[in-house]
Amino acid sequence: MDVLAFSLAVFSASLLAGFLGALTGLGGGVIVTPVLTLLLNVDIHYAMGASLVSVIATSSGAAAAYVKEGFANVRVGMFLEIATTLGAVAGAHLTALVPGSGLAILFGAVLLYSAWHSLNAPPDHPDGPTDPLAARLRLNGSYPGPGGTVQYHVQRVKAGFSLMFSAGVLSGLLGIGSGAMKVIAMDQFMRIPFKVSTTTSNFMIGVTAAASAGIYLSHGYIEPGLAMPVMLGVLTGSLAGARLLAGAHIKALRLVFAGVIGLLAIEMIYNGIRGGMQ
């Protein structure tokens, strides 16, 4: 396969990954890496580098819309980015120590969990009393609800902050946005409304990924010839997916996609274990 055919194949696969990533809410980055490694035989380090770049593109592209709508909480995002960026730097440095097979196994496990989690969006919880720390940091906010502005109070700031550090480590270690874990930290731990959690998470993903990007560059994970079709493909695919998402009822479709992604995850774990034994 020459460069032209290969780039076209990578672009098409990335387009599909971005599309599925937007539809399932998993993000394109976490799907494009298994596709590149399993189907196109790309080394996991190059795949992670290209995926990280595409994560910055889709996050910034989507966040541009969400921030304008007034859902994302910029203060919550900025405060928690201390934890995610520090975690990302630690995770990105760790990639040099963990063998490729270990990365593949961990990646598969995270992917499997994310696919399962994407099917179980938890119900919204009632607003409760605020954490004094949240009041001091002015984290409490409001968002435009169907019947006017809805106020919310942020709880368990320290627990959420710690979990965000772990989300950052995973992001740096695997070249993903780790949006699922960010949402769990905000929604389940800090009791921030689901819609605010997902949009703020999207807003934070770009900054978290940028914190890994410098280290990825210095390790040589970001290969321009590969990152080019991946970034353009995932970005285009996710924009198309987000547009479709706004209109359609896709619950059954999501179930099918989550199943496919689960199979990819299992194959990745299997290959990692086999590779690690060689």
Partner 1 sequence: MTDSRLDQIIGNLLRVGVVTAAAVVAWGGARYLLRTGQTRPDYHAFHPEVRGLHSLGVLPLPQAIIMIGLLILIATPVARVVFSLVAFAMERDRAYVVITLIVLVVLLYSLGTSWL
Picking from 215, 221, 219, the residue whose alpha carbon sits closest to that of residue 85 is 215
- Of 112-120, 132-140, 147-155, 189-197, the window that binds partner 1 (rule: CB under 8 A) is 132-140
Amino acid letter at 185? A
Kindly tell me the burial class for residue 219, based on how many C-beta atoms sit within 10 Å of its own C-beta (0-12, 13-18, 19 or more).
Answer: middle
Amino acid letter at 104? A
Positions in 183-212 near partner 1 (CB under 8 A):
206-207, 209-212
Continuous segment of H or E residues that includes residue 238: helix 224-247
Contact pattern for partner 1 over residues 1 through 20, marking x by CB under 8 A: xxxx-xx-------------
How far apart are the C-alpha atoms of 110 and 183, rounded to whole Å?
14
Exactly one of 41, 126, 132, 246 binds partner 1 (CB under 8 A); that residue is: 41
Tokens representing residue 211 in the block: 């914190």
What is residue 98's three-state secondary structure? coil
Exactly one of 27, 193, 229, 237 binds partner 1 (CB under 8 A); that residue is: 229
CB of 226 to partner 1, least distance (A): 6
Q: Does 39 bind partner 1 (CB under 8 A)?
A: no
Judged by beta carbon, residue 92 or residue 265, the one nearer partner 1 is 92
Kindly tell me the burial class for residue 1, based on how many C-beta atoms sit within 10 Å of its own C-beta (0-12, 13-18, 19 or more).
Answer: exposed
List contacts with partner 1 (CB under 8 A): 1-4, 6-7, 40-46, 53, 56-57, 59-61, 63-65, 67-68, 70, 72, 74-75, 78-79, 81-82, 85-86, 88-89, 92, 100, 136-138, 206-207, 209-215, 217-229, 231-232, 235
